Amino acid sequence: MDSISQENIIKFIQLARRLEMDGLYNAAKLLWAAAFSTEIRLSNQGLSTGSQALEANVESAIQAMQDTPGQAALAKALRNVKRGIREKRAISQAEIPQVSVCRTCAETYLGKTPLTCTECGAHSLTFREFLPIWYLELLPPAQALKVLASGIDEIGDLVEGLDDEQMEYYPEPGEWNFREALQHLLVSQELLAGRVEKMLAEQNPSLAGVAAWMLDEGESKPGSQIFQQLKASRFELLKRLQTMPMESWWRTGEHEEFGQVTILQQASYFAKHERSHLLQVRQIRAATLSRNG
């Protein structure tokens, strides 16, 4: 089944590119979507946990890249990832700069791209740049505000009916409980609020990258208190974003890991990040209520 799925990915992408050559872009998106969907299904079967397994998988990817034409630069940069995993830190843009791939011949580039592809001559405007995470893809300002506002309402609905003792229950060993999930969302919220204020106050300020495992350190508070703090911080942030001039959405900061980012990009990032956790929070709530039901 896996080999058939892998063959289908190639077929879908080949057909998508052929449709694009004929200008049938709206049709090609169906094939790109099918290829991506198949990739996700396949990758879900092999997700591993633990830093040792992660390091081993990174080393395996390095070896695969070294054996693939045009990917030697990627393999070299990926070695920085192993050091970052061991040191439990984010990987800076200095270690892994902008990554682009020529859509015509598949040559890869790190850092500043040449005007034309060194292999096939295609113009750099036809390259595909790979962002560090899809969260950075921009939402319109009105949608970013809407998602941030509705997100806190949904979190409130999930908190309702749970007391502080229930929020301490662990559905599975090694997984978050409800309070810890709220703490993660609170720290993320305060990180966004702090960055917005800094970008509004300064010209292109430095923004420190924060690894996921660093986001939840700090004193332990009851879940109800964490939620009230999250709610208050979100309302203040929404007020700030709603009242600032429209052009301020494009004020910038220099992120240690992602390079130059805008306020809109950061709002989009954290809105999507929060949504990615809400399913997890719902599942924790369901397991908690089931145990106490």
Burial 116-129 (b: 16+ CB within 10 A, else e): ebeeeeeeeeebee
Query: What span, in angstroms and rounded, lies between the C-alpha atoms of 213 and 272?
Result: 18
pLDDT of residue 124: 95
Whether the predicted model's global pTM rises above the 0.75 cut: yes
E strands, 32-145, where? 99-102, 108-110, 127-130
- The rounded Cα 291 to chain-centroid distance in angstroms is 32
249: DSSP letter: G
Categorize the per-residue pLDDT at 256 as very low, low, confident or very high, splitting at 50, 70 and 90: confident
Residue type, 85: I
Query: What span, in angstroms and rounded, lies between the C-alpha atoms of 64 and 74?
Result: 10
- What is the total residue count of the chain? 293
121-146 confidence digits (pLDDT tens): 999 999 999 988 889 899 999 999 99
Is the pLDDT score of 213 beyond 50? no
Q: 119 with 102: CB under 8 angstroms?
A: yes
Q: 204 with 253: CB under 8 angstroms?
A: yes
DSSP H helices, 202-247, are 223-243
Between the alpha carbon of residue 166 and those of residues 157, 230, 241, 279, 282, the distances in Å are 15, 19, 34, 18, 14
